[in-house]
């Protein structure tokens, strides 16, 4: 749970509830005033990702205080912020952007996969082409990012005219406002709302008028309905039918992160990153401020009336004061210099605790440990240390695999390649390891599997959709270079030796160098 979200009235427990958000600081910009708790939390996390986290830091640890100010004649002239102002705090605020760093690393470490649970070359080639059309590599990183920051990834597919391969359009997760479900919690409709802006040019003045309008899209089995009086002034809506073979399909790809069956939407993992990120910002800001106090001591007024309007309370600045004539005789006003002289060890100690907590919640390896692991020529130890992250990726993969089944099914039927006896659950093939590793480690895994008889070179080529002609050419090239004693492919021997030595494989279990069909 997040203390910060609970403090401002956004309990993660209410993520599946709708209604007005009860936020204590609703005057701050960029925070949704209406809508679901889920939308408000997504908006806050988006602030962290774009570097606009100061307002949340200030709300978490500080509170604005104002005092009345008067001129020399005793006349009230207004209220002024007491102490360090909001704008001054913004200048000394220091952040290392912990959440964006963690999300970016998760996207880099996510395992790649583009093979399928079929050995049919025609189907593999079609699906490979499909992945290119939808720009799978960039889409996959977007999926990981969305699952972490929004909990659910949504997209829908459509067909271009005279093209049998479908395309994908990603939907903004926060705009998917409702999932209608039956008594068994199976979805029957998805409701998506977005605000668009139309531009209208005045040809006389040249001014452009921005006209916002709302578009509501309802995805149901067999069709998609778009409601908009702006786009469709006659009827107010438009219905687009699915292809005939999609009558029982909702054209939605829904990939959850972690979701209970009864819940409408998934948990948002990044909720747990907010508190340690804000505390870390507080520590780094305090450290920076303390270091400035050490280098530029502050001046404090004792037995003096401080001139608020002409004073600055930042380190190294001057406080203007006047003698307090109302003081008892014998007292004399004075200015005292205040500076920090200790080694700030407590701040460093607290920083280490928070850093460990953040690493634990994100499953991202701490930098000092990551640097130590980088000295090794293999990532096996690092993979073991990232076991929690690996388990998360495995869960994400299962959800991605299930989410794409209907999409792949539609593409196969559209191209007359679907076999209902074998392709009902056709989707992505699981990767060998659920952490993105080096190509050297990937080769090591493949060689280990071949040494144990779990795969063959030809099977690996089949996964890539390689034609018989290309396979034969590769076999001839490999055998030719081995016969000539060419060292260019010695990497295969080296990997096999490393695997054998590292895992105790005998020489008899090593794969024969000559590739045979």
Residue 125 pLDDT > 90: yes
Any residues with CB less than 8 A from the CB of 196 and at least 6 apart, and which? Answer: 212, 213, 214, 215
Q: Is residue 53 part of a domain?
A: no
Any residues with CB less than 8 A from the CB of 23 and at least 6 apart, and which? Answer: 8, 9, 10, 31, 33, 40
Task: Identify the domain boundary among 310, 338, 366.
Answer: 338
Q: Is residue 309 packed enough to be buried (19+ CB in 10 Å), middle (13-18) or exposed (0-12)?
A: exposed
pLDDT band at residue 509, thresholds of 50, 70 and 90?
very low
Residue 407 to residue 497: CA distance in whole angstroms? 42
Task: Identify the domain boundary among 311, 338, 365.
Answer: 338
Paired with 124 in beta bridges are: none
> What's the pLDDT score for residue 10?
79
> What's the pLDDT score for residue 469?
78
> What's the pLDDT score for residue 340?
63
Say if CB 423 and CB 409 are below 8 A apart: yes
Say if CB 156 and CB 171 are below 8 A apart: yes
- ∠ Cα 424 429 433 (to 5°): 150
Nearest one of 402, 407, 406 to 165, comparing CA atoms: 407
> What's the pLDDT score for residue 79?
72
Residue 290 pLDDT > 50: yes
Query: Nearest 5°: phi and psi at 205?
Result: -95, -20
The angle, 0 to 180 degrees and rounded to 10, between the axes of the packed helices 490-503 and 439-451 is 70
* Alpha carbon 198 to chain centroid, angstroms: 30
Task: Tell me the mean pLDDT in the region 491-505.
Answer: 46
Residue 504 to residue 305: CA distance in whole angstroms? 81
Biggest CA-to-CA distance, the chain: 107
Lowest average pLDDT, out of 182-196, 353-367, 406-420, goes to 353-367
Q: Is residue 312 part of a domain?
A: yes
Residue 443 pLDDT > 70: no
Q: What is the token pair recorded at 5?
A: 């979200």
pLDDT in tens, 43-75: 999 999 999 999 999 888 887 777 677 677 777
Residue 86 pLDDT > 50: yes
Q: What is the token pair recorded at 366?
A: 């701490």
In b/e form, how buried is each residue of 28-56, taking b as 16+ CB within 10 angstroms? eeebbeebbbbbbbbebbebbbeeebbbb
Any residues with CB less than 8 A from the CB of 441 and at least 6 apart, and which? Answer: 378, 379, 380, 383, 433
Percent of the chain clearing pLDDT 90 (strictly above): 43
Task: Decide which of 224 and 493 is more confident.
Answer: 224
Say if CB 167 and CB 190 are below 8 A apart: no
Q: Is residue 351 part of a domain?
A: no
Query: Nearest 5°: phi and psi at 498?
Result: -65, -45
Q: Is residue 487 part of a domain?
A: yes
What pTM did the predictor assign?
Answer: 0.77
Mean pLDDT (the chain) is 80
Residue 147 pLDDT > 70: yes
Paired with 240 in beta bridges are: 224
Task: Tell me the mean pLDDT in the region 221-239.
Answer: 95
> What's the pLDDT score for residue 498?
46
- ∠ Cα 240 243 246 (to 5°): 105
Percent of the chain clearing pLDDT 70 (strictly above): 70
Q: Is residue 450 part of a domain?
A: yes
Residue 515 pLDDT > 80: no
pLDDT band at residue 485, thresholds of 50, 70 and 90?
low
Q: Is residue 208 part of a domain?
A: no
Lowest average pLDDT, out of 80-84, 167-171, 253-257, goes to 80-84
pLDDT band at residue 76, thresholds of 50, 70 and 90?
confident
Q: Is residue 489 part of a domain?
A: yes
Helix/strand/coil for 201 = strand
DSSP 320: P
Q: Is residue 250 part of a domain?
A: no
Task: Identify the domain boundary among 320, 338, 356.
Answer: 338
Number of domains in the chain: 2
Domain holding 334, by residue range, is 298-338
> What's the pLDDT score for residue 116?
94
């Amino acid at each position: 749970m997040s203390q910060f979200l609970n403090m401002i009235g956004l309990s993660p427990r209410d993520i599946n509830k709708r209604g007005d958000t009860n936020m204590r600081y609703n005057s701050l910009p960029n925070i949704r005033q209406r809508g679901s708790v889920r939308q408000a939390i997504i908006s806050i996390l988006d602030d962290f990702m774009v570097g606009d986290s100061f307002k949340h830091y200030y709300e978490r640890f500080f509170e604005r205080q104002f005092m009345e100010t008067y001129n020399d004649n005793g006349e009230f002239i207004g209220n002024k912020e007491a102490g360090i102002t909001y704008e001054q705090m913004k200048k000394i605020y220091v952040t290392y952007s912990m959440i964006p760093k963690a999300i970016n690393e998760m996207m880099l470490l996510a395992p790649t996969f583009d093979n399928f649970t079929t050995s049919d070359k025609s189907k593999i080639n079609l699906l490979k082409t499909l992945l290119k059309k939808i720009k799978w590599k960039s889409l996959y990183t977007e999926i990981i990012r969305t699952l972490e920051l929004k909990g659910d990834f949504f997209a829908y597919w459509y067909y271009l005219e005279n093209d049998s391969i479908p395309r994908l359009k990603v939907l903004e997760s926060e705009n998917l406002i409702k999932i209608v479900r039956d008594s068994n919690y199976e979805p029957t409709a998805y409701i998506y709302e977005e605000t668009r802006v139309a531009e209208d040019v005045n040809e006389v003045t040249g001014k452009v008028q921005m006209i916002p309008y709302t578009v509501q899209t309802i995805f149901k089995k067999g069709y998609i309905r778009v409601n908009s009086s702006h786009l469709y002034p006659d009827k107010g809506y438009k219905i687009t039918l699915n292809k005939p073979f999609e009558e029982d399909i909702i054209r939605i790809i829904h990939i959850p992160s972690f979701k209970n069956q009864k819940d409408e939407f998934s948990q948002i993992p990044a909720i747990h990153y907010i508190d340690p990120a804000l505390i870390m910002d507080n520590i780094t800001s305090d450290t920076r401020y303390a270091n400035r106090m050490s280098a530029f001591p502050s001046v404090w007024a004792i037995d003096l009336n401080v001139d608020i309007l002409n004073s600055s309370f930042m380190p190294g600045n001057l406080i203007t004061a006047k003698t307090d004539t109302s003081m008892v005789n014998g007292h004399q006003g004075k200015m005292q210099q205040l500076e920090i002289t200790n080694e700030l060890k407590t701040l460093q100690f607290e920083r280490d605790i928070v850093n460990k907590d953040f690493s634990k919640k994100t499953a991202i390896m701490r930098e000092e440990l990551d640097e130590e692991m980088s000295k090794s020529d293999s990532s096996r130890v690092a993979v073991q240390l990232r076991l929690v992250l690996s388990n998360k990726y495995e869960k994400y993969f299962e959800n991605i695999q299930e989410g794409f089944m209907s999409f792949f099914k539609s593409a196969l039927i559209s191209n007359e390649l679907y076999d209902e006896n074998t392709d009902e659950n056709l989707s992505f093939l699981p990767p060998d390891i659920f952490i993105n590793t080096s190509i050297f480690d990937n080769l090591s895994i493949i060689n280990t599997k071949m040494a144990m008889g779990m795969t063959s070179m030809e099977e690996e080529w089949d996964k890539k959709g390689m034609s018989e002609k290309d396979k034969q050419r590769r076999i001839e090239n490999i055998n030719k270079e081995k016969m000539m004693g060419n060292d260019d492919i010695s990497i295969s021997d080296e990997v096999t030796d490393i695997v054998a030595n590292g895992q105790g494989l005998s020489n008899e279990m090593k794969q024969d160098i000559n590739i045979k069909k």
